[in-house]
Structure 1
Amino acid sequence: MNGNGAPPRMGDATTPSVSSTGTRTKLERGRGALGPALELVHTGRAPTRAVLTAELGVTRATAGAVAAELEALGLIRVDSRPGASGGTAGTGGAQGRPSHRLSVAEDGPVALAAQVHSDGFRAALVGLGGRIVATAPGKVTVSADPAQVLGAVVRAGAELLAESGRRCVGAGLAVPSAVAEPDGTALNPLHLAWPAGSPVRDIFAQCVKAAGIDGPALTGNDVNLAALAEHRHGAGRSAQHLLCVATGHRGVGGALVLDGRLHSGSSGLALEVGHLTVNPEGRACHCGGRGCLDVEADPLAFLTAAGRSPGPEVSLLQQARDLLREEPEEPAVRAATEELIDRLGLGLAGLVNILNPDRIILGGLHRELLHADPERLRAVVADRSLWGRSGGVPILPCTLDHNSLVGAAELAWQPVLDDPLGALA
């Protein structure tokens, strides 16, 4: 412990005397590995100190110092007793040698995550590892005034923080709209009835500051953030070129993660896949086109194709899911399922031809359609895509609950992952 009762830190002037300059040099050199090490534990890729040593390419001593520093910061836990099989051949650990297990700190800091969609909004606290620590009850009324909605969701998050007593590293917001960079404006929040170009990042930041919440306040598109969360913690792990396509409560979105980073284009507007034409004679789209994926393969399109009138009692997504799960063999429902699978497959095939991903993950209603008839969907994609015919692209369901919320938290966690000491000083 140092003089104020805190554990010794790398390079801290109060660190107990070091017996050699070489040892201190190792500690200082290890500071540059803190961020990469934290990301490895955060994403589950370094379950033991032996694996951490191999992944970082450092000595066991340096890896031990790095792990100890992250533990002193309250971010990870190092099991005090080594367990069996700490490393394997090819990962840098001695075969069968016991190694200390590493895990994220269950009582550590959290990020405030917020999500707004056409049928409601929700706040949550999310720890390292993508763990949702607490959620506020979802609200089902979304005002046409973004400041009113964002103020309400931040207040709900502030209440969660007060109840938890946790330190907050920052806040992230997921919205169903393309978010232009660098201004953070929502260009097309059509399903929210918000004005085009609403300065959602500035409004969110003001609400966060007014609530007395520390850390940065960041904003992103909901499907982009879902893809980021799935890549780090869910069905997209280990993919190098990950394509995510999802329909939430209204509309269709897409995202691409390349080598662990979101591909957002020159101004944050890449992968607006909802406006691919999949039915030239189809429904009129909000963009001015006709037959776009956005209006041909979302929950409203499914309910309409099945001859059902949407009700006000629950969200459109929930109504579509319930119908698909409870009456899958009813003729109209089956016909609607096949129609939407074919439309979705056409869109995916075009994206495969352009992007050549090594994995596709589907969320929202699209995940349910995949479960309903996986062979039909995969056959459409393979038949209509050049690369699909050469072996096919794995098409998998998203696996995380509330993945857009988890992704919103990833925005707030990123500065900590980049520089743990600097972000938490």
Structure 2
Amino acid sequence: MHTGRAPTRAVLTSELGVTRATAGAVAAELEALGLIQVDSRPGAGAGHQGRPSHRLAVDPDGPVVLAGQVHADGFRAALVGLGGRIVATVPGSMAVPADPAHVLGAVVEAGARLLRETGRRCVGAGLAVPSAVAEPEGTVALNPLHLEWPRGTHVRGAFTRALTAAGLTGDTEAFGRIGNDVNLAALAEHRHGAGRGARHLLCVATGHRGVGGALVIDGRLHTGSSGLALEVGHLTVNPDGGRLCHCGSRGCLDVETDPLAFLTTAGRVPGPEVSLLQQSRDLLRDEPGDPAVRAAVGILTDRLGQGLAGLVNILNPDRIILGGLHRDLLAADPERLAAVVAERSLWGRGGEVPIAECSLDHDSLVGAAELAWQPVLDDPLRLAGGA
């Protein structure tokens, strides 16, 4: 029901492989926990034959989790219900300080305010950060390139302390979970958005700064041996005269296809008033016919396609989804991007891989919520204890 695959009790019966009575008992338990609603009058949808079945739906007034996202220009907090539905959200703009406790405190304070305003029950909290995160300890394991946080910062501990200070505690598995923002965006898109149905889903995205990647295989994130896999931003796509990357190399995807690269390639001087991502999107929307803008779209599209082709050769995905500015580049010239991927892929098979735009608003936030919801999905009866 969380992923929309069981809209009726009959479908639930089939998916679980149990009797109608057992499926009915399961649905009744979930309804008693306030997680779902069961239509009291069974009915058949238009065009359907056979015995009518009770319709099932996520309870719109049910519990929520607090989801937070930190990025180079500030943060966003949200309350997210089952089904990946954002109940309420608020952005926060601030210079992210070197001590993560300050911004994480602001994230939790904003989320707590939303909880007070909505009166909703909170059953967990998750956080998305723009850095690789080591598992299971929850540290920012590599230099968080676009934040000033020290390497090895224990973000999970700081997040948990902020939640405790705000009185948001409960099931220790559900409160204080963190992950990389693009990993979480891919997880959310696989469950609720453009990645549904893919067995080997590759997600590449650029947000406010830099480029990230993620791979979902049969519904599970591939994070490597310690959580640090798919640092796709450090693929070299412009070795001759490319920009110096934070990693020490030149011409990485991270600095050749992000919003700063787009603005400078288009001959624009970035301003401080709004985020680099928003400035890039405004430029694409307001001046799509400008020769410099068209040229910048072409250059970044070619470099993005070169990077995607390398990933196709290595990972052999059955679908690629693009987020952030990359989604806008795809929309601006989808044929060009597909042609570059096909041309640079082994045997040209890359041209057969569908490339789509990420479809969820705030997918990293929804992914952070997925982390917090997972213990409840694994064992809904834990809510009966009042967590």
Answer whether TM exceeds 0.5 for this pair: yes
Give the counterpart of 1:258 among 210, 217, 236. Answer: 217
Aligned match of 2:26: 66
Aligned match of 1:135: 89
Q: Using CA pairs below 8 Å that are at least 6 residues apart, which structure has the higher relative contact order?
A: 2
Counterpart mapping for 1:142-291 below 5 A? 142-186=96-140, 187-215=142-170, 216-281=175-240, 282-291=242-251
Provide the aligned C-alpha RMSD in A.
1.4
Aligned match of 2:52: 98
1:338-373 Cα shifts (integer Å, max 9, x gaps): 000000000000000111111000000000000000
- Conservation of the 8 A alpha-carbon contact between 2:34 and 2:63: yes
- Conservation of the 8 A alpha-carbon contact between 2:312 and 2:350: no
Measure how far apart 1:184 and its partner are.
0.8
- Which ranges of structure 2 fall in alignment gaps of 5 or more residues? none
| Partner-residue secondary structure (3-state), 1:191 | coil
**2:149 aligned partner, one-letter code:** W
Measure how far apart 1:391 and its partner are.
5.5
> CA 1:169–1:306 in structure 2 vs 1: closer, same or farther (change >3 Å)?
same
- Conservation of the 8 A alpha-carbon contact between 2:3 and 2:83: yes
Distance 1:149 1:45 in 2: 37
Measure how far apart 1:85 and its partner are.
4.0
- Which ranges of structure 1 fall in alignment gaps of 5 or more residues? 1-40, 89-94
TM-score, normalised by the number of residues in structure 2 = 0.95
Distance 1:96 1:329 in 2: 55
Give the counterpart of 1:338 among 298, 302, 306. Answer: 298
**1:113 aligned partner, one-letter code:** A
**1:102 aligned partner, one-letter code:** L
Distance 2:92 2:51 in 1: 48
- Conservation of the 8 A alpha-carbon contact between 1:87 and 1:96: no
| Partner-residue secondary structure (3-state), 2:93 | coil
1:83-108 Cα shifts (integer Å, max 9, x gaps): 214997xxxxxx43211111101000
- Conservation of the 8 A alpha-carbon contact between 1:353 and 1:387: no
> CA 1:369–1:424 in structure 2 vs 1: closer, same or farther (change >3 Å)?
farther
- Conservation of the 8 A alpha-carbon contact between 1:416 and 1:424: no
Aligned match of 1:78: 38
Aligned match of 1:112: 66
Measure how far apart 1:192 and its partner are.
1.3
2:373 equivalent to 1:419: no
> CA 1:86–1:203 in structure 2 vs 1: closer, same or farther (change >3 Å)?
farther
Query: Which of the pair has more CA radius of gyration?
Result: 1
| Partner-residue secondary structure (3-state), 1:138 | strand
TM-score, normalised by the number of residues in structure 1 = 0.87
1:385-410 Cα shifts (integer Å, max 9, x gaps): 12643761000000000000010011
